Structure 1
Amino acid sequence: MGAGHGHDHGVSADSDRRWLAGALALIVTFLIGEVIVGVIADSLALLSDAAHMTTDAASIALALWAIRLAARPATGRMTFGWKRVEILSAQANGLTLLLLALWLGYEAIRRLFEPPEVHGVLVLITALVGVAVNLLATWMISRADRTSLNVEGAYQHILNDLFAFIATAAAGLVIILTGWVQADVVATLIVVALMIRAGLGLIRASSRIFLEAAPEHLDPAQIGRDMAAREHVTEVHDLHIWEITSGSPALSAHVLVEPGNDCHAVREDIAHMLAHDHHIEHVTLQVDHAGPQVLDIGIRDSNTHPCGDSHSPKHVSPGKAPHAH
């Protein structure tokens, strides 16, 4: 029996804390001013943007904290380190987007029937400044590694806020030109729809990792066939593919090799193929010779499957019958 390991416990190299910290400082500064103007103008769109920017600031702060934790080495009981904290951060960002969208949607519908007087000029000016601020913040966060679901969560917050300010600026212009104050509410509902879309996307992606589903870009059936097609391999089973954190796929499997061939050489060949063809670096393989000797493993009862209680599909080398245990 052999095990092959291509483990990489490094943090995403481009997740640059300085870009996130710079975006955080920019947003907090503008947030304070926007709340003041939103109260003066009695604009729900501005106050909703301010509420959203509060979650933006919180999401970036959470992302920075998660990056710091994820950089800790794997020690003690934390054998994978703290990498999944980044996925917790991404899921929290998704949940806050959905909760905020529900509150803003309720307020917007209420104001449809009781529209307040909205100062269009203040709304327009503040929204235009908000567009500029969020463009800069979006660019700063885009400089970090967006393959990290944690960073992507913060990025989605800022990007949705940019869309919100564009909609709010349009509402302010409509109010100035036509006096139709419900434009403020329409802008809010547009923002709500965008927030729901982004929030659901983050929750779906993070949930896949928590449920240890295979990454969307990897096909376990095809990978199993590729492994079984390698020279001297007779069968692959107990194949599991999951993500430790976003961008860090992992694989484990039991591989049976033709009797008389070098198990270690086969293991190295499969590990190289997985890294080169499928970009899976974190690989653990149990490799045994196919044949009666497998039955002699004394760690399992003789009435059980000799290679473990396998519930996953078997992948058999092309042109060969499944191995009879």
Structure 2
Amino acid sequence: MGHDHSHAGTANRSRLAIAIAIIATVLVVELVGAWISGSLSLLADAGHMLSDLTGLIIALVATIVAARPATDRQTFGYQRAEVFGALINGLILVAVAVSVLIEGVSRLLDPAEAEVQSLPMLIVAIVGLVANVCALLVLRGGKESSINMRGAYLEVLGDMLGSVAVIVAAVVIMSTGFAQADAIASLAIAAMIVPRALSLLRDVVRVLSESAPADTDVQEIRDHLLGTEGVVAVHDVHVWQITSGHPVFSAHIVVAQEVFAHGGTGELLDRLGSCLHDHFDVEHSTFQLEPEEHASHEDSHHR
């Protein structure tokens, strides 16, 4: 994590503010367009966009809260606020998908409800597509630095795909008169929302359950530390995340007696910290150094 998290947080807040302005404007356009055209897929896309807008606002608030400094009570700061923001985003996505699914099935079963005006539906969907592309370009730079920003990016990406589905449905209706294409498109939008929501919620659960990051091989870290001169054994290893991209590491390190005898513990700590930082991008690491005779007392309690 060699980049500057403070700078990244400021940049992410700017990206979110711009995206919020874009999405809010198009949301109003889509709601009016859905009312005029009677299109469920356009209304579904507007509902998805409303969830995006809510999620983006939550994400913006979360990045502001996460930037607050650590205190004696919140010793890691407020970075986990981003994870809670992503959790709310995921739940909103699930709720939107379920409601669109129910209404879409209802329209398929009752063709009389499926009548729509395809021209305004098409025009508004094209406007929505252009706006979503712009919002995606704005958010793209921050999606790798934060689980919260990734959630916002994925939501807008889903909106873009939703706009494409509405455009296809409008063209089909204009060409063939098959009005139920609108309901089918709304179901396609719901189907696109669910996997993204579940993926985001899975990442949230991984952080909140303090699992090791998905791309972290704990055994590889242990082997690297064991290869450090003066290290005899490594046990009681823990790797977790405060939020996405902020891994934390702790371990008990059994050290050769001569390291203690010659006052080399400070140098060893520097080497261990550098090992984690350079090879595994871990900035926050804690080591408990133990002489061999002390470690033998812990064998029955730690692995």
TM over 0.5: yes
CA deviation string 1:145-187 (max 9, x = no partner) = 5320001111111110000000100000000000001111111
1:66 equivalent among 62, 66, 78: 62
SS at match of 1:143: helix
After TM superposition, where is structure 1 displaced by more than 6 Å over at least 4 residues in a row? none
Q: Which has the larger radius of gyration?
A: 1
For structure 1, which runs of at least 5 residues remain unmatched after alignment?
Answer: 1-5, 296-304, 314-325
Contact 1:12–1:148 (8 Å) recurs in 2: no
* Residue of structure 2 equivalent to 1:290: 292
Alignment check: 8 A CA contact 1:49 1:164 kept = yes
Helix, strand or coil at the partner of 1:237? strand
Aligned position for 1:24:
20
Instruction: Judge conservation of contact 2:136–2:153 (CA < 8 Å) in 1.
Output: yes
Normalised by the length of structure 2, the TM-score is: 0.93
Percent identical: 35
Partners of 2:8 and 2:145 within 8 A in 1? no
Gaps of at least 5 residues in structure 2 are none
Matched, 1:99 2:95: yes
The AA in structure 1 aligned to 2:101 is: G
Q: Is the 8 A contact 2:12 2:149 kept in 1?
A: no
Post-superposition CA distance 1:252-289 (Å, at most 9, x none): 00000111112222222111111111111110000122
Tell me what 1:108 maps to.
Answer: 104
Residue 142 of structure 1 is matched in structure 2 by 140
Deviation at 1:222, TM superposition (A): 1.4
Other structure's SS at 1:215 match:
coil
Instruction: Tell me, yes or no, if the aligned pair for 2:30 and 2:46 is still in contact at 8 Å.
Output: yes
Question: Contact 2:166–2:185 at 8 Å: present in 1 too?
Answer: yes
Question: C-alpha offsets along residues 99-157 of structure 1, whole Å, 9 cap, x if unaligned?
Answer: 11111111111111113211111111111111111111111111335320001111111
Q: In 2, Cα distance between the equivalents of 1:278 and 1:306?
A: 27
- CA distance in structure 2 between the partners assigned to 1:9 and 1:159 by the alignment: 26
Following superposition of structure 1 onto structure 2, how do residues 177-256 of structure 1 map, counting pairs within 5 Å?
177-256=175-254
| Structure 1 residue matching 2:154: 3-state secondary structure | helix
Name whichever structure is richer in helix by fraction: 2
Report which stretch shifted further, 162-171 or 15-24. Answer: 15-24
d(CA) in 1 for partners of 2:16 and 2:45? Answer: 20
Query: What residue in structure 1 maps to residue 8 of structure 2?
Result: 13
Match of 1:323 in 2: none
Pairing of 1:118-129 with structure 2 (within 5 A): 118-129=116-127
Q: CA deviation at 1:34?
A: 1.3
Give the Cα–Cα distance (whole angstroms) in 1 for the partners of residues 81 and 73 of structure 2.
15
The verdict on how the C-alpha distance between 1:238 and 1:180 changes in structure 2, with shifts beyond 3 A counting, is same
Pair 228,12 (structure 1): closer, same or farther in 2 beyond 3 Å: farther
Of the two structures, which has the highest relative contact order with CA contacts closer than 8 Å and spacing of 6 or more?
A: 1
Q: Could you say what the CA RMSD is over the residues aligned between the two structures, in angstroms? A: 2.0
Contact 2:132–2:157 (Cα < 8 Å) also in 1: yes
The answer to whether the Cα contact below 8 Å between 2:128 and 2:160 also exists between their aligned partners in 1 is yes
